[in-house]
Chains A and B, each alone.
Chain A
Amino acid sequence: NAGVTQTPKFRILKIGQSMTLQCTQDMNHNYMYWYRQDPGMGLKLIYYSVGAGITDKGEVPNGYNVSRSTTEDFPLRLELAAPSQTSVYFCASSWIIGQGGYEQYFGPGTRLTVT
């Protein structure tokens, strides 16, 4: 199992550009999440999904969009990049609560700089 994979690892965007951060998991998890981590801070939830076709906003959704057309993939889209979106982005997946071992599994992260 590859677990949770993210691409790209690094990216520099100009203000106003758009891009998609890719996330794929091969563990057949129902739940997937996108977080951002700013320097010296914990993780803040951007969006999450409880299954294919279902997504919901987290704590900091503004400026982002997501889709979940398959169980495996959960891309995050930035439409008009702003310097405030400079951050490290982590994708994660998990089982449904109540099933054994439902901790989150994290991808390696995407380091995004907007200048």
Chain B
Amino acid sequence: AQSVTQLDSHVSVSEGTPVLLRCNYSSSYSPSLFWYVQHPNKGLQLLLKYTSAATLVKGINGFEAEFKKSETSFHLTKPSAHMSDAAEYFCVVSAANTGNQFYFGTGTSLTVIP
């Protein structure tokens, strides 16, 4: 079975400081992992994805995530937060044995303080 746990429902950082959004996954098969961002009243945009290549994945807007199999984690980071990063972030897992289904975490709301 596949599942995702986003460990923080809300994260608040000051502009210019690092961002860490935590995600743990459970998968009975080799997983693919994704981070999506959703700005208020908007659709979902892919930030980055891990699909069994390099474990450190770079995405758009300076975000990156590291796949750690031993810790079953896929945390999202950014060195320096920008005001435009304020949004909802979703961690998603999928695997070949899930019938192409994607399992979403409950989301982490990121606030950036000026």
Chain A residues engaging chain B, CB cutoff 8 angstroms: 31, 33, 40-45, 48, 50, 56, 58, 90, 92, 94, 96-98, 100-109
Contacts and interface: CB of A to CB of B under 8 A. Distances in A.
B31 to A, nearest CB: 11
A97 B95 contact: yes
A33 B96 CA distance: 16
A43 to B, nearest CB: 5
Contacts of B95: 97
16 contacts: A42-B105, A45-B101, A48-B100, A48-B101, A50-B100, A94-B102, A96-B100, A98-B96, A101-B49, A101-B51, A102-B32, A103-B34, A104-B44, A105-B46, A106-B36, A109-B43
Contacts of B99: 50, 56
B107 A42 contact: yes
Interface of B: 32, 34, 36, 42-46, 49, 51, 90, 92, 94-96, 99-102, 104-107
A65 to B, nearest CB: 19
A103 B45 CA distance: 10
Given A43-B90, A107-B43, A109-B43, A102 B51 contact: yes
Nearest to A96: B100
A100 to B, nearest CB: 8
Given A42-B106, A58-B101, A96-B100, A103 B43 contact: no
A39 to B, nearest CB: 11
A107 to B, nearest CB: 6
Contacts of B92: 104
